[in-house]
Amino acid sequence: MKLNYTRRDLCKTAFFAFMLFFLLILAMPCKTESATFAVRISPPNFELKGKPGDVLREVITIENADTAQGIYQVRTADWEIDKKGGVVIQPPDKPLAASSCRSWTRIERRIFKLLPKRVKRYRFEVHIPADAKDGECRFAVVISPAPETIDAMKFGSFNVPVAGAIAVVVYVTVGKAKPELEFKGVVKKKSNGKTSLMVNLHNWGNAHARPSGSVIAKDANGRKAELLLSPFPIMPGETRGIRLFADKEISGIENIEELAFPLYLKGLIEWDGGTYKVDTMLE
């Protein structure tokens, strides 16, 4: 008996054969050779201060948390904070940013090996020029797998690349540079059906600010809750909304929706070199 197959039938057969082959590959034992990038690094950032002509020396602690020897590469990079508050690391071929002090930076070595469960104290230096002006510059020290360790996970004849990187952010304040914040009000914001409170602050200074503090919110029913200010940096010349959030142990509530508007807000915002007393009503 002669069977007639349409082109559609042949395509379906080929598709199912491919899927079966793919599942068989996944079922095969996999061999890993430095397939993970398992490192612990501290601290996550540095906020350094110095005068023109100073040499600032610091140490990053790097631990290989993997079960195999790790080979790592280190470079410096410029970075910026995007509108969502995430740190964006710039690629190495991009020109130096205006706020960069990568050219002042010296790192210990660019590639090193670390045995499993061992710790390395990785040194770097910042050489502030003698003619540097008051202000702030920034850079990051980026640790990632060395190129030869990236294509390490193997499924039969298939290579699945594994890569990652960790950036340690560094701020360098030179001379008398300092932040100067202006309070621009508190606003109510809705996102994904949830209400949040944002404190708008503008930094008129020539160094970043990392405001902290808390605000007592008294709602329309007389209920009170202490709200905490997120410790988020504000760059020179930038206006940014910093979130006030509720902590169950401190605030007595889990989210802002538990309060009845309008809210009377009173508290204190602090930053390096300044404070602002909050005393406002939010409808």
* 283 closest CA partner among 184, 183, 187, 185: 187
pLDDT digits (tens, 9 = 90+) for 185-195: 999 998 887 88
Q: How far apart are CA 236 and CA 181, in angstroms?
A: 9
pLDDT digits (tens, 9 = 90+) for 11-50: 444 444 444 444 443 344 433 344 467 899 999 999 999 9
pLDDT digits (tens, 9 = 90+) for 238-255: 999 999 999 999 999 998
Q: What is the mean pLDDT of residues 95-110?
A: 95
Backbone angles phi, psi at 177, to 5 degrees: -60, 140
Domains of the chain: 33-174 (2.60.40.10), 181-282 (2.60.40.10)
Tokens for 196, please give them.
Answer: 């949040």
Residue 153 predicted with pLDDT over 50? no
